[in-house]
Amino acid sequence: MSAAFYVCFLLWCFQTNTGKLVCCLTFVIDRSTAAPPTQLEIISMNTNYTLIWDWDQGSAESGAVNFTTHYVAKFKLMSKKKSPNWNTACETTSHRSCDLTNKNLFYPGIYVFRVRASVNGTDSEWATKDFCPDKEAALGPPSKVALSPEGRNLDIVISDPLTSTNSSMREHHEDLYFQIRYWERSADGQALRSHSLSSKASVVTLSDLQAWAWYCVRVQSRYDFYNKSSSFTPPLCMETEGTVPWWEIVLYFLLSLVICFLVVLLFIYGFFRCFKKLKATFYPSVQLPSPFQYLFDSSGSDIPRLLPESDSELLCDKVTVCPAPPVLEIHSPPPEFLPEPTGLEPDSSGKHSRSSSGSGDSGMYSTGGGSSNLRQQHSGQDSQGPLDSEQVKMQDMAPGLKTHLLAADEGIVDMCV
């Protein structure tokens, strides 16, 4: 089906009573263009602008629809010498809106916006909209509101509404002021009687308030020249202050003293605990026994230090060191087995027999002469040279042995070890 079509209505010819002829009426409808956008509207806040519109989707037979938005200052359209140069804001977009914030429109100026639709290469007629930011742009609320208690008073700090470049709206509305509404909040959260005041200042003080009471505040921006007013800010509540009773001051002072005392006491306790722990580790109170004291006192010794008391067990027993006594047996044979001495005087036999009879009773004997003879032999051996190991042992053990008394004139006595 083509974009243009014809609808023909054919009325039959008939003849009236007057004889006049009414015949053939043909009605032709030509649809050669797309439907234009409708209901153009600008949503604005301070210096933020967005153009929106509607479009009849049923008028598009097939294919996607695109929109183009232009703008120009209105005074340029009044020039008869040359046609205005339209600026493109949005081109071939499928959205039914166009953001104009970044176009830096002159705030007191008047602009004309136009929008058209394009379907399958066919453009619609332009739909236009006039807009004056100074007159039509909505005024925004304060950008920030803060409360500060000053005794029984409340200080309200108000920040101006901001533009798209974060500058104050007072640059465009010099007579901008604020409408302040405040009320006391009851214990159950209900609002009591509300109060209002107006001020151009950025800091406003609410005086003559109740001490230790909650107050809520809302602020609105206003500009009376074009009767502009913003929405109110969300309620902001703050409790007022007052004179502190003397008993609270004393109580706070005593409480601070107790806290300081506990903190200092805890610090001292922790310090002494650490000190005792370090002292017990590096300087233990248990003294080493005297035989081992030199191991601890010699700092330059290669012997490792003893472990502290916390890491070792101290086990002590009394130790007595005694040498093992050697067992030495000396046997003297009976007299009858002894050979008779030769080369002795006749009277020596009697002495010998007496000695023999005396030795028969005990089996052992020793005389001073014998001891002297032994000592002479030892001295003789010492003079001769070094002794062997058995002779040295015998000399060392000689004082503890029992020897037989030998007569000075007797001969050699056999000894078995």
Residues 101 and 153 in one domain: no
Q: What is the pLDDT of residue 314?
A: 59
**Maximum C-alpha span of the chain:** 224
Residues 79 and 53 in one domain: yes
Which class for 106: exposed (0-12), middle (13-18), buried (19 or more C-beta within 10 A)?
Answer: exposed
Q: What is the pLDDT of residue 32?
A: 52
**Structural domain contains residue 380:** yes
Closest CA to 98 of 44, 36, 46, 139: 44
Q: What is the pLDDT of residue 329?
A: 66
Residues 128 and 189 in one domain: no
Q: What does the pLDDT profile of the chain (417 residues) look like in tens digits? A: 333 333 333 333 334 343 333 333 333 434 457 899 999 999 999 999 999 999 987 766 666 899 999 999 999 998 888 888 999 999 999 999 999 999 999 999 999 999 999 988 889 999 999 999 999 999 999 999 999 999 889 999 999 999 999 999 999 999 999 999 999 998 787 778 899 999 999 999 999 899 989 999 999 999 999 999 999 999 999 999 988 888 989 999 999 999 999 999 999 999 999 999 998 888 877 776 777 666 665 555 555 555 555 555 556 677 787 887 777 666 666 666 656 655 544 444 444 444 444 444 444 444 444 444 433 444 444 444 444 444 545 555 545 444 444 444 444 445 444
Residues 75 and 96 in one domain: yes
Residues 110 and 181 in one domain: no
> What is the extent of the structural domain holding 373?
328-338+347-417
Q: What is the pLDDT of residue 33?
A: 72
Q: What is the pLDDT of residue 321?
A: 77
Q: What is the pLDDT of residue 281?
A: 85
* Alpha-carbon span 1 to 280, nearest angstrom: 107
Residues 159 and 215 in one domain: yes
- With beta carbons less than 8 A apart as the criterion, state whether 130 and 110 touch: yes
* Alpha-carbon span 244 to 416, nearest angstrom: 118
Q: What is the pLDDT of residue 243?
A: 83
Structural domain ending residue among the three candidates 120, 136, 152: 136
* Alpha-carbon span 127 to 70, nearest angstrom: 10
**Structural domain contains residue 263:** no
Q: What is the pLDDT of residue 323?
A: 81
* Alpha-carbon span 75 to 109, nearest angstrom: 9
**Structural domain contains residue 313:** no
Structural domain ending residue among the three candidates 239, 263, 297: 239
Closest CA to 121 of 65, 69, 55: 65
Q: What is the CATH number of the domain that holds 99?
A: 2.60.40.10
Residues 117 and 167 in one domain: no
Residues 106 and 194 in one domain: no
Residues 132 and 63 in one domain: yes
Structural domain ending residue among the three candidates 75, 105, 136: 136
**Structural domain contains residue 322:** no
**Structural domain contains residue 32:** no
**Structural domain contains residue 391:** yes
Residues 110 and 150 in one domain: no
Question: Cα–Cα–Cα angle for 77, 81, 84, nearest 5°?
Answer: 35
Residues 149 and 125 in one domain: no
In this structure, the dihedral spanned by the alpha carbons of residues 273, 278, 279 and 280, taken in order and rounded to 10 degrees, is 90
**Structural domain contains residue 383:** yes
Q: Total domain count for the chain?
A: 3
Residues 235 and 160 in one domain: yes
* Alpha-carbon span 156 to 139, nearest angstrom: 21
**Structural domain contains residue 100:** yes
